[in-house]
Amino acid sequence: MTLTTKLPKVGTTIFTVMSQLAAEHQAVNLGQGFPDFDVPARLVDALGRAMREGKNQYAPMTGIPALRQAIAAKTERCYGYRPDADAEITVVSGASEAIFDAVQAVVRPGEEVIVLDPCYDSYEPAIDLAGGRAVHVPLDPRTFAVDWDRVRAAVTPNTRLLMINSPHNPSGAMFDADDIARLGELLADTGIWLLSDEVYEHIVFDGRRHESVLRYPQLRERAFVVSSFGKTYHCTGWKIGYCIAPAALSAELRKVHQYNSFCSFAPAQWAFAEMIEAEPEHYEGLGAFYQAKRDRFRDQLLTTALKPLPVPGGYFQLVDYSGVSDLDDAAFCRWLTVDKGVAAIPLSPFYESPPAGQRLARLCFAKNEATLDAAIERLLRL
């Protein structure tokens, strides 16, 4: 028998490839985006307590009520809008599942989905599996700003969904109020749904405000808004996230979710419900926590041959390596890992068509100081 793949453009994700390469060569892994410091103590204690109390069986499909209520209260505290905990909040097994479920819920074969390049590598496979077609609109290759005229030009009668991401992975660029205004104008009087990937919502710097879609009634009424507990609470391996969407959209997302993962790890849901209510200062202080890391890492990078780009939000630092090498980004990141002992992520896998001559790599600074110091020691030898 001959097997024809449903994802012909997909191989092993670049994050897995680079992490494996880092392990093989004992490189400092600044590639894959995971913290190497501790999860908050209260969260760990609450998880253990939930398991000891026997909260180990299936959670409700939409998430335990206590967690959905905590999410609703947190959303109101952050964005001035309280979603309906029963009808509009769905707990899922990580933000990637939320993205997949949302795409499957609204995109039909032959329909188009606009994505802004560079974009996270799970977006297009989800579109392909729904039978849709990804329409790639490039961001500015240096500032990663959106050209809204180009987005408007990409809209056709077949456009079903627009996917956005702020703070942006891989660049850290963020939407401002003007972007939100242009987005609202673009979508007004259309039948286009919106998927807003906001997993780095609390990791914003320099006094900036995260312009969540949830702040704006005209946008949230047509949007899936995706969030990640893993990014906020340093526990990416727990794979818990959530999606806030209007009741009709949530109902369709839940139809997919219930036959995908059905429900998510129950003890962690109880732990997050407690953590959100007991320590709001954790997510409120997350920007300052990571800004200190960003600033220290940037100062260190300035002593190397790499040139750091501005980082308004998120926990990734792009560096221009053109002063070190003329290799393409994939070859450079492999050389950097194997020969110099620091793992980075190339940008080309985030694109349909990478900009010609682009010489940028992504480093993760969600690490202990000792990890970052070890990386800098090696990067100084470039």
What does the angle CA 39 – CA 44 – CA 46 come to, to the nearest 5 degrees? 140
Instruction: State the CB neighbour count (10 A cutoff) for residue 54.
Output: 8
Provide the CATH number for the domain formed by 41-281 in this structure. 3.40.640.10
Query: Is-contact 112 132, C-beta < 8 A?
Result: yes
HSE value, Cβ hemisphere, 13 Å, CA-based, for 325 = 17
Q: Where are the alpha helices (DSSP H) in the chain?
A: 14-24, 41-52, 65-79, 95-106, 123-129, 148-154, 177-187, 217-220, 229-232, 247-260, 266-278, 280-284, 286-301, 329-340, 369-379
Tell me which of 3.90.1150.10, 3.20.20.150, 3.40.50.300, 3.30.365.10 is the CATH number of domain 14-39+284-379.
3.90.1150.10
Would the CA dihedral through 69, 38, 299, 27 be positive or negative? negative
Under 8 Å CB-to-CB from 240, ≥6 apart: which residues? 91, 92, 93, 94, 229, 230, 264, 265, 268, 269, 272
In terms of DSSP bridges, do strands 28-29 and 342-343 run parallel, antiparallel, or are they unpaired? parallel
What does the angle CA 313 – CA 348 – CA 229 come to, to the nearest 5 degrees? 40
What is the residue-level pLDDT of the chain in tens, covering all 382 positions? 899 999 998 888 888 899 999 899 999 999 988 999 999 999 999 999 999 999 999 999 999 999 999 999 999 999 999 999 999 999 999 999 999 999 999 999 999 999 999 999 999 999 999 999 999 999 999 999 999 999 999 999 999 999 999 999 999 999 999 999 999 999 999 999 999 999 999 999 999 999 999 999 999 999 999 999 999 999 999 999 999 999 999 999 999 999 999 999 999 999 999 999 999 999 999 999 999 999 999 999 999 999 999 999 999 999 999 999 999 999 999 999 999 999 999 999 999 999 999 999 999 999 999 999 999 999 999 9
Which region, left, alpha or beta, applies to residue 356 given φ > 0 means left and ψ of -120 to 50 means alpha? beta
- 76: three-class secondary structure by DSSP: helix
Whether 41-281 and 14-39+284-379 are alike in CATH topology: the answer is no
Nearest residue to 204 via CA among 113, 283, 314: 314
Query: Is-contact 378 363, C-beta < 8 A?
Result: no
Query: Is-contact 269 59, C-beta < 8 A?
Result: yes
Domain positions in the chain:
14-39+284-379, 41-281
Amino acid identity of 163?
A: M
